[in-house]
Amino acid sequence: MARITAVGTSVPPHVLKQDEIREFARHLFGDSFRDIDRLLPIFHNGQVETRHFCVPLEWFGEKHMFSEKNDLFQEWATRLGVEAAKDCLEQAGKNVADIDHILFVSTTGISTPSIDSRIMNELGMNPHTKRTPIWGLGCAGGAAGLSRAADYVTAYPGKRVLLIAVECCGLTFQCEDKSKSNLVATSLFADGAAAVLIEGETVVQENRKQIQVIDTMSTLWPDTRDVMGWDINENGLKVIFSRDIPTLVDQLLGPNMAEFLERHGMTGHDIRHFIAHPGGKKVIEAYAEVLGVELFYFSHALDILRRFGNMSSVTVLFVLQAFLKQGITPGEYGIVTALGPGFSSEMLLVKG
């Protein structure tokens, strides 16, 4: 059985308040939307207050080539990934020599060799450390990374995996894209990194808070490829957001969650902790409605959304960190869950 034993995080230095970004958007998108003032409430309705970025606000008002943006991604993804990994290892009381496998998740830039090789060099890791980069899972990537790490240490119970997720969503911004999808993205996305230590059950247990992974489930719904993701053009990664997302969440999430819990003879009422990716306030509200629980149970997710915005795959790991610090009472169950492009879902059943 896999155990989650530590989470570290890192954010870049440029902190922007939502009011600043809203006024930036008013100026940038004003000529494209006659009713811009009717659309701007999305900046407050999402309950995001502050976000962190690798670049200052004025950068977003200028056109940048894909190569320039991707160079920045490689630089910042390495830096943030290293910082998050160090934070995680320090909290766990471990060093890089204790890690058997590094698993790297991202969706907001590309690199060959992959970013995990850069991070390994910066950290001075054993050159024989196994590594697995995972790209393209978007907001579901953090939960998917946890699942794949849990799979690995279940197969190899004496091993440790360091999962690192880094997203520089801001660096994908295309100021020439005046679509409503880009306006929505401007109100929500941000940059950050997280690292998680996952250990097998025969690794010597230490006296610190941990969460057991009981089961995982991945879902890819057919014919939903155009719901969210990237269009790739000469300027880089252009955001895709379908207006059907809230409807799909309402239709698909409930049966998906029920199927997963039925494996263990459980329902949503048996779950005490909801470690959900806060893709937006409406997504969290949909989770609460489907599971028949009060919004209070998603307070950690909403707090991360308020303070950091949506950092794609990284965000659910920030929520996980809050739960790990708080601790889950032994015997109580929780769900780690995230939705992403595909249209896809990743879920983990966890226990204190």
Structural domains of the chain, with CATH: 3-199 (3.40.47.10), 211-351 (3.40.47.10)
Q: How many residues does this entry show for the chain?
A: 352
Q: How much is the pLDDT for 234?
A: 84
Q: What is the pLDDT of residue 294?
A: 85
Higher pLDDT, 82 or 222: 82
- Residues 6 or more apart whose CB falls under 8 angstroms from that of 5 comprise 92, 197, 198, 199, 206, 208, 209, 210
Query: Three-state DSSP class for 49?
Result: coil
- Given a contact cutoff of 8 angstroms between Cβ atoms, the answer to whether 220 and 34 are in contact is no
**Which of 249, 122, 259, 254 minimizes the C-alpha distance to 195?**
122
Q: Per-residue pLDDT averaged across 280-291, rounded?
A: 83
Over 90: is that where the pLDDT of 73 sits? yes
pLDDT tier at 78, thresholds 50, 70, 90 = very high
Would the pLDDT of 116 be above 90? Answer: yes
Q: What is the pLDDT of residue 205?
A: 74
CA distances from 220 to 146, 159, 213 (A): 17, 29, 21
Residue range 251-272: average pLDDT?
89
Q: How far is it, in rounded angstroms, from Cα 141 to Cα 346?
A: 8
pTM: predicted TM-score of the whole model, two decimal places = 0.94
On the question of pLDDT at 286 being above 90, the answer is no
Which pLDDT value is given to residue 209?
81
Place 328 in a pLDDT band, splitting at 50, 70 and 90: confident
Q: pLDDT per residue over 151-164, tens digit each?
A: 999 999 999 999 99
What proportions of the chain, in percent to the nearest 5, are helix, strand and coil? 45, 25, 30
C-beta of residue 125 within 8 angstroms of C-beta of residue 81: no
Q: Is the pLDDT of residue 203 over 90?
A: no
Q: Which of 280, 304, 230 is nearest to 51 (CA)?
A: 304
**pLDDT value for 180:** 85
pLDDT greater than 90 at residue 35: no
Give the three-class secondary structure for 188. coil
Catalytic site positions: 139
Does 173 score more than 90 pLDDT? yes
| Mean pLDDT, rounded, for 173-189 | 89
C-alpha 16 chain-centroid distance: 19
pLDDT band at 207 (very low <50, low <70, confident <90, very high): low
Is pLDDT at 4 greater than 80 in this prediction? yes
Peptide bond into 308 cis (omega under 30): no
At 153 the pLDDT is: 96
Measured CA to CA, the distance from residue 141 to residue 229 in angstroms comes to 12
The chain-wide mean pLDDT, for the chain, equals: 92
pLDDT at 72: 97
Q: Given this model, what pLDDT does residue 254 score?
A: 85
* Distances from the Cα of 160 to the Cα of 121, 151, 200, 255, angstroms: 19, 12, 6, 33
What values do phi and psi take at 208, rounded to 5? -145, 165
Q: Are residues 18 and 48 in contact, defined by beta-carbon separation less than 8 angstroms?
A: yes
Give whole-number Cα distances, 271 to 31, 200, 229, in Å: 48, 24, 30
Residue 312 CA, chain-centre distance (Å), reads 4
Whether the predicted pLDDT of 331 surpasses 70: yes
- Cis amide linkage into residue 246, ω under 30° from 0: no
Cβ neighbours of residue 10 closer than 8 Å, sequence gap 6 or more = 80, 81, 83, 84, 87, 192, 193, 194
How far is residue 120's CA from residue 146's CA, in Å, rounded to a whole number? 19
